[in-house]
């Protein structure tokens, strides 16, 4: 298997660049940014190409620019694949709700590219068994489906504001164009809009009601242990947008243990 240094050497030679060319070009980049760390000297480049020396983040940037390649590709040669971010996110579950922008650095995603001919969208089915083939697709191919007005949030593992409607650990899709609180009467809790709100303490998902023009009521689900909050708007609470989609895991909650009866009552029975 070709090492990272060899990959860089092959790329340099393919472009017809000498090691001296790289040194001069990197010096220009260092001068532009006012940081000598961007400079790649002849001896350092030789060590990178032949001795397995790992370049610093600054030199890696310079090499990516000079060789006309994506920085993520260079990182992948050194074993840092940005497309692994989505699978590595599960190593920690932050206790607080937050906006997530980590996945924006990924360039490819695995999606179903061939479904079983018997797949019927009208019926509930095991999607994993209906996928005949998975493919690695560049995210740029999916831009035609992108909505620039959407952002994505994660419900912290200790955030029970909208439990059980939105369990902790859920991912939510937020439409930032719908950042005005809608007042009205709703026939059920499923119809009432849920908003993603940023406060001085962090982010939260909740129902909202405006009180006058300068205060907002943050209302949790009736089964939530949290209290209703009245905050100044928008100084202390800003509505990021309305939750329009949700992805959640089910079946991870344990049954509540039945309460034991007092001994006196048991004796009376």
**pLDDT of 138 higher than 60:** no
**SS3 call for 210:** strand
230 Cβ contact partners less than 8 Å away, ≥ 6 residues apart:
211, 215, 216, 217, 218
Q: Which helix (H) or strand (E) holds 153?
A: strand 150-154
Segment among 49-58, 161-170, 257-266 with least mean pLDDT: 257-266
**Residue holding tokens 């009467």?**
185
Which one has a higher pLDDT value, 42 or 125? Answer: 42
Q: Give the β-pairing of 202-211 and 215-219.
A: antiparallel
1 Cβ contact partners less than 8 Å away, ≥ 6 residues apart:
none
**pLDDT of 161 higher than 60:** yes
Q: Which helix (H) or strand (E) holds 133?
A: strand 131-138
**pLDDT for position 192:** 95
| Cβ count near 72 (within 10 Å) | 16
**pLDDT of 148 higher than 70:** no
Query: What average pLDDT is seen over the chain?
Result: 83
Segment among 36-45, 47-56, 128-137, 218-227 with least mean pLDDT: 128-137
- Distance from first CA to last CA of the chain, Å, rounded? 77
pLDDT tens digits for range 206-218: 999 999 989 999 9
**pLDDT for position 163:** 92
Average pLDDT over residues 235-242: 94
**SS3 call for 69:** coil
Give Cα separations from 227 to 77, 154, 162, 262 (angstroms). 51, 21, 11, 30
Q: Which has the closest alpha carbon to 173: 148, 140, 192?
A: 148
Average pLDDT over residues 96-101: 75
**pLDDT for position 26:** 97
Average pLDDT over residues 45-54: 95
**pLDDT of 145 higher than 80:** no
**pLDDT of 27 higher than 80:** yes
Total residues found in the chain within this entry = 269
Which band of pLDDT confidence, cut at 50, 70 and 90, is reported for residue 263? low
* CA dist., res. 11 & res. 27, Å (int): 19
**pLDDT for position 124:** 47
**pLDDT of 87 higher than 60:** yes
248 Cβ contact partners less than 8 Å away, ≥ 6 residues apart:
166, 167, 169, 170, 171
Token pair in block for residue 142: 């999916």
Average pLDDT over residues 48-76: 94
Which band of pLDDT confidence, cut at 50, 70 and 90, is reported for residue 112? low
**Residue holding tokens 């010096």?**
27
Nearest-5° Cα angle at 82, 78 to 84 = 105
Segment among 75-79, 116-120, 148-152, 171-175 with least mean pLDDT: 116-120
**pLDDT of 103 higher than 90:** no
**pLDDT for position 109:** 60
**pLDDT of 149 higher than 70:** yes
Token pair in block for residue 125: 């089915």
Domains of the chain from N-terminus onward: 4-77 (1.10.260.40), 85-94+101-145 (no CATH), 150-247 (2.10.109.10)
């Amino acid at each position: 298997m070709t090492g990272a240094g060899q990959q860089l050497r092959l790329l340099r030679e393919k472009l017809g660049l000498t090691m001296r060319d790289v040194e001069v070009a990197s010096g220009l980049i260092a001068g532009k940014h006012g940081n000598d760390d961007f400079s790649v000297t002849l001896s350092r480049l030789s060590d990178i190409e032949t001795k397995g020396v790992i370049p610093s983040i600054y030199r890696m940037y310079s090499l990516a620019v000079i060789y006309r390649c994506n920085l993520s590709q260079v990182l992948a040669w050194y074993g840092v694949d940005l497309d692994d971010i989505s699978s590595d996110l599960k190593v920690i579950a932050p206790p607080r709700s937050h906006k997530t922008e980590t996945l924006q650095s990924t360039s490819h995603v695995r999606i179903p590219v061939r479904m079983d001919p018997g797949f019927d969208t009208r019926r509930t089915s095991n999607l994993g068994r209906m996928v005949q083939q998975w493919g690695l697709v560049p995210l740029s191919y999916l831009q035609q489906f992108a909505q620039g007005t959407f952002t994505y949030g994660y419900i912290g593992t200790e955030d029970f504001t909208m439990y059980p409607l939105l369990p902790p650990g859920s991912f939510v899709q937020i439409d930032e164009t719908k950042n005005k609180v809608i007042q009205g009467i709703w026939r059920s809790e499923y119809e009432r809009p849920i908003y993603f709100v940023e406060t001085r303490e962090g982010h939260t998902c909740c129902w909202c009601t405006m009180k006058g023009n300068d205060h907002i009521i943050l209302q949790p689900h009736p089964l939530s242990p949290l209290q209703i909050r009245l905050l100044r708007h928008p100084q202390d609470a800003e509505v990021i947008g309305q939750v329009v989609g949700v992805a959640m895991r089910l079946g991870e909650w344990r049954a509540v243990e039945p309460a034991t009866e007092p001994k006196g009552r048991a004796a009376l029975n």
